[in-house]
Amino acid sequence: MAVFDWLRRRLGSGRDQEPDAEQLAHEEALKERLRDRCRRFRRLLSANKSALEAMSDVEEHLLGQRPFGMAYVQAVSTRAVSAVFRMVRDLNGLSDNAYLSLQTAFDHICKDMQARLTTTVSTDGPLVLPLSAIDLKDVAQVGGKMASLGEVAAHVGLEVPDGFAVTASAYYRFMEYSGLRAELDRRIQATDMDSLDALFNLSSALQNAVLAAPLPPELESAIRQAVDSMLQRADGELLLALRSSAVGEDASGVSFAGQYHSELNVPIEEACHVWKEIVASKYSLTAMSYRYQHGIPDDEAPMCVGVLAMVPSAAGGVVYSQDPVAAARGKEQVLLNAVPGLARGVVDGAVTPDTFVFTHENPPRLLQVKTGSGKTPCLAQAQAIALAHVALALEEYHNEAQDVEWALNARTGRIVVLQSRPLRAADAAAEQEVEANAEQCAQEPEAPPATPELLVSGGVAVSPGLGTGQAFVARKEADMLSFPQGGILVVERALPRWAPLLPRAAGMVSETGGMAGHLASVAREYRLPAVFSMEGACAALDGVGDVTLDARRCTVYAGRHFRSADSQAETPNLMKDSPVYRRLEEVARLMVPLHLLDPESAQFTPEYCKTLHDITRFCHEKSVALMFAPDSVNQSLGKQLKAGSKLQYWIVDMGGGFCRRISGPVVDIAEISSAPMLALWDGMVAVPWAGPPATSAAGFMSVMLQSTMNPDLESTAPNVMATKNFFLISDTYMLLQARYGYHFCTVECLAGDSNHENFVSFQFKGGAADARRRCLRARMVADLLERHGFRADVKEDSLFAVAEDFPALEILQKTRLLGYLLIHTRQVDMIMLETERATALKNKLATDMNSFASRPMPGR
């Protein structure tokens, strides 16, 4: 009561009387309370901005148009959580801990988010499993490649090499034992994965860390014992093939073609060391880039390794049980690629393989043979047919087309299956596209319109399409760093190591390789036009500048000859539905949705805060209410604005908002020095308001009906509309909370020296007419603001618009536009269903707003 007595004395004493020392001390104490309140409020607003930024960043990433890793999901979640925690803390500071239950809501949400971000890994399983004990049910422990090989041996009766798998449990135990997991996480999180330079450094550091880490003794012992058992079963000398079999390689939509390392001809003494090399290859540039582009988290891809007896190979290769190109023509055929020696020659794309085509029937019949690098085929006809049988048997067992890697044992003459996996649907679709394009080309003999200079032609279209860009011949790994964005990659051999460049390329040409190679698969995943086995490409394209690659015709022309729209098929969305994407979706559900829309609702409480957005909304609303509460501080420090207006404005100066000390209860607009308030005011008075629009009977009835139903519109009831219109100001800051007509609005502006901090935001809700008309008005205002650089969000009749990160002058110009709209959109909701009048109104508002561009800003 003392405060109010003092206030009454002050108001009664007139403004010209000098204050006494007691009054000054009291005023200073109140100001100190206001400053403390303002500090907390500013902190809360800053945290609010950070939280909303994090949420809109999440929404943008959920469009799935650019890659991101788990590091991003962790980071954005942490950013949002940190900001919201700060808001809760400051709201409780502002309110003397009136909202402690908000902390409980926050803790629940955090716990849920954390659960969705944590991968639980098991180190308790067996460290090694013999191949004879493995089948498809063991895929989580041994990876897809080894599980499938075990299945082939156990249930199809085909020959596979002797061997065992080093399991996912072994991998996790190694990572935990050496402290690698935490160290790798830390390094990955601190790296900009979009920078090839940074990825190079990271890859090197991580691989070195893995290679330097010690093996747990029990793992080393388990591997040695398993190798000793193989040695006992082997007839003579035993060499090993260590093949990567990472979990997730067989996930839907990813091929992982050639991304991980396999090592052949390994002496048994080196098994443990080579196992580490293969684990390290998980962090090769190629593999990390691939996982990043495809949204596969590091933790969800434990590296299992197959340790197999080396097959002395007379020939090797890949057989497709269904040739997808033939399938596109309505024919069922088996396609076999073969090279002399190891199968690696086919999958690595290092040589051009022999090709055999068979009928898809039992027994298969040979239709066509095409030799690759050699003069004669590396397989006899009977051997080739036997391989077609193997492919058909595996297809029948799995009931879907298979991609089978095989070797022909030079000693026994028997076929050994090295790998069998479903022929990827993406491959099949892309190859159908190759075929469709080839047919289209046959009907369009004249290639590009201007008959440009042909630089090189020939080879196999492994991925269809048109690409234009600067030709870049890459010969060594270091060349990757200078590869131009959007260039045409030209290489001598189609090795998987070039895969990291494919997302940056507009096309690719290789002098070797075929359809079944790893790099060809990756090119198809990225829908990158690519031609392999194009002889003489490096010499023909070195230093020629811009070129056009027509993969449909296997030709490269000098210059750019296609419009960009023709040149690139739609970029595939590799992130959507990936594991990382799904994790982000899950945490986004706890961050982004807003349920607390109406502050007047009984459900606008901490208990109903289900997301971080709900908490930010609650904190913001309550903090604004606290700041403008008609309490002792505001009543004492608030000044009534004298500006010849009928509207009642009360102004609280946080510091620097008035030109001089104002001792009386009234302040003149000429005494204001707050740049944002002056800008807003300038917009409010720039164009005289013509009054509310004439209303049709329907519009009028809508208002009448709302007036009877909405308690806030009942003039005698104590309600939120009794709230005064308040300005909280400083020299560079302004917050207005006001009621205009039947709608409520908040304008907030910071226009200081730091562009990064500057913003102006506008919220309004409500109106006199029915919900449909109110929503239309909100949409109209949003449209108008979006034309002037605001980001606007409309939910029902609520509008939130913000412009940020602009220099102060631009922020003030936008604030002036808001001042204009505040006045001129009053009561216009009533005419929003009258299309012509609504359009005319919108046009007039837009014209007036455009005319403000040439108006000088007010200022002192």
Partner 1 sequence: MHALFVDDETEFLELMQKRLARRGMDVAVAPNGQTALDMLDATLREGGEPFQIVVMDVRMPGMDGLETLRRMKEKMPKLPVILLTGHACMDVAVQGLDLGAYDYMLKPVAISELLVKMEEAVRATA
Given the rule CB under 8 A, which residues bind partner 1?
39, 42-43, 46, 71, 74-75, 77-79, 81-82, 85-86, 89, 110, 113-114, 117, 185-187, 189-192, 754, 756-757
Q: Which amino acid is at 743?
A: H
What's the per-residue H, E or C state across 300-356? HCCCCEEEEECCCEEEEEEEECCCHHHHHCCCCEEEEEEEECCCHHHHCCCCCCEEE
31 or 187: CB nearest partner 1: 187
The Cβ-side half-sphere exposure at 45, using a 13 Å CA radius, reads 20
**Cβ–Cβ under 8 Å, residues 780 and 751:** no
CB of 239 to partner 1, least distance (A): 42
d(CA 681, CA 829) in angstroms, rounded, equals 23
CB of 191 to partner 1, least distance (A): 8
What's the per-residue H, E or C state across 455-482? EEECCEEEECCEEEEEEEECCCHHHHHH
Provide the β-strand partners of residue 319: 336, 404
CB of 289 to partner 1, least distance (A): 19
- Among 529, 540, 539, which residue's Cα sits nearest to residue 454? 540
CB of 187 to partner 1, least distance (A): 8
105 or 538: CB nearest partner 1: 105
194 or 542: CB nearest partner 1: 194
CB of 711 to partner 1, least distance (A): 39
d(CA 416, CA 236) in angstroms, rounded, equals 18
**Cβ–Cβ under 8 Å, residues 513 and 463:** no
554 or 734: CB nearest partner 1: 734
233 or 756: CB nearest partner 1: 756
- Among 508, 503, 504, 478, which residue's Cα sits nearest to residue 490? 508
d(CA 639, CA 661) in angstroms, rounded, equals 11
114 or 381: CB nearest partner 1: 114
Q: Which residues of 756-765 are buried (b: 16+ CB within 10 A; e: fewer)?
A: eebbbbbbbb
CB of 6 to partner 1, least distance (A): 28
15 or 186: CB nearest partner 1: 186
CB-based burial label for 453 (10 Å; 0-12, 13-18, 19+): exposed
654: Cα separation from own chain's centroid = 41
d(CA 611, CA 618) in angstroms, rounded, equals 11
d(CA 3, CA 26) in angstroms, rounded, equals 9
Residue 164, classed as helix, strand or coil, is strand
CB of 581 to partner 1, least distance (A): 18
CB of 730 to partner 1, least distance (A): 12
CB of 113 to partner 1, least distance (A): 6
The count of other CB atoms within 10 Å of the CB of residue 564 is 11
Tokens read off for 394? 């595996």
189 or 470: CB nearest partner 1: 189
**Cβ–Cβ under 8 Å, residues 639 and 651:** yes
CB of 234 to partner 1, least distance (A): 48
68 or 356: CB nearest partner 1: 68
CB of 120 to partner 1, least distance (A): 15
10 or 89: CB nearest partner 1: 89
CB of 385 to partner 1, least distance (A): 57
The phi and psi torsions of 508 (rounded to 5 degrees) equal: -150, 145
Provide the β-strand partners of residue 41: none
209 or 669: CB nearest partner 1: 209
371 or 754: CB nearest partner 1: 754
Residue appearing with tokens 């582009």: 293
CB of 208 to partner 1, least distance (A): 17
85 or 628: CB nearest partner 1: 85
CB of 788 to partner 1, least distance (A): 25
77 or 568: CB nearest partner 1: 77
CB of 85 to partner 1, least distance (A): 5
Which DSSP string corresponds to 601-640?
STT-SGGG--SHHHHHHHHHHHHHHHHT--SHHHHHH-EE
190 or 367: CB nearest partner 1: 190
Q: Which residues of 279-310 are buried (b: 16+ CB within 10 A; e: fewer)?
A: bbbbbbbbbbbbbbbbbbbbbbbbbbbbbbbb
**Cβ–Cβ under 8 Å, residues 226 and 130:** yes
d(CA 41, CA 735) in angstroms, rounded, equals 11
**C-alpha separations of 530 from 293, 447, 547, 550 in Å:** 19, 17, 14, 9
The phi and psi torsions of 822 (rounded to 5 degrees) equal: -55, -45
The Cβ-side half-sphere exposure at 376, using a 13 Å CA radius, reads 3
